[in-house]
Structure 1
Amino acid sequence: MLLLAIDTATAGVAVAVHDGDRVLAAARAGDARHHNEVLVPTIAAVLEEAGRERTDVTDVAVGVGPGPYTGLRVGLATARTLALAWGARIHGVCSLDVLAAQAVAEGLTGEFLVATDARRREVHTARYLATTEGVRRTAGPDVVAPASLTPDVPVVGAGTRLYPDVLGPARAPFDADGAALAHLVVDTLAGRATWELLPPEPLYLRRPDAVEPGARKRVTA
């Protein structure tokens, strides 16, 4: 097995390569404005660092959001194209789940929220429960105004940087990590975790701004 993990739902791009036992290489590059410019070169660099060829890839994991439209479009289009070209299986993952897995790996237990920047003065959020048996999402994902939240549990994610008056002090992790995404998918495929694997389709929580125009009204004299 050789799994390529890609996430573009948060700032920059996160890429990793996992051989089924360990992460061979991982990198983060760019920012929210340059996903399209840095993703493919970062993938090539990570594969080179891992000492593997693109033809070795058997699985592709991709964060499906929620996140900004442009970043998701770039990541998902690239993941689907590469999986098709390489004959690899493709697995989608809620990007908030990746952040939750990172938080638990860093020692967070019990109930907590993940909150990321949804722009328009809103946050993407989901609630989790981490126990000795594992971690699972118990609510969400949703897109809400920060003022509508009254957190009674710890909050992690980039939303805490933006709205500390509501969500509490800034608390990492802030961005999805390629290595964490790779571990999540490998462990789920191996039966060591029970995260939900999704189709490689963007997880949008808002209606699109652009809508198809309705039929023209007939004008009479």
Structure 2
Amino acid sequence: MFDRLALPRVLPFFTYLFFILIADVLIWAGYAQEQLRYLYVVKIAAVLALLWCYRRHYSELAWPGRATMGWPAIAWSVLAGVVVLLLWLNLGASWMVVGEPAGFDPRSGGGTDWLLVVVRIAGAALVVPVMEELFWRSFLLRWLQSPNFLTVDPSLLKFRYIVVTAILFGFEHNLWFAGIVAGLAYGWLYVRFRTLWSAIIAHGVTNGLLGAWVLMTGQWAYW
């Protein structure tokens, strides 16, 4: 699973998880959220650095031709991203949630730390979708079908693997049920249009609009 072809798609994702673990350990050790405000910046910078170092390995990120990623595909990806956002904000019943989200409040000392806001939204909308889709859809989804995952055409992926990946993706999130729905949507786009960019665009739209909504409403727990 961690061979030279998988590592560029696995390592950025596990680096992201590692920083989440670090934050949890530090909070358990008595550090306040306020003291860890800039840990997200370090986390995104580390993931971005790995994506940049491995950029020549990501053949799936070559922009596809018009046959697979024309305006209809882009429109469907944007629409799916908006629909997932609406579901994300409304699938919050108690049984659909696991644990307590740490959240992120950019206000400090009576004002808003706009540097952190920009990094948070840019990281969530531009970096995280690439990192997660490389792992969940491009690697794990295809790897479940064949260890030689780079040879698997997305249009030939079996539905059961899409479901399994969506479930695992869902439980990466506090809103696990909404996460499963999002995973199914992104997986469908990947299979339908045979390009990872469809899932990345949808994922980026969801995360970017969620960031804007959080800023407008002050619902920091969604961050």
TM (norm. structure 1) is 0.30
Greater helix share, structure number: 2
Rg larger in structure: 1
Greater strand share, structure number: 1
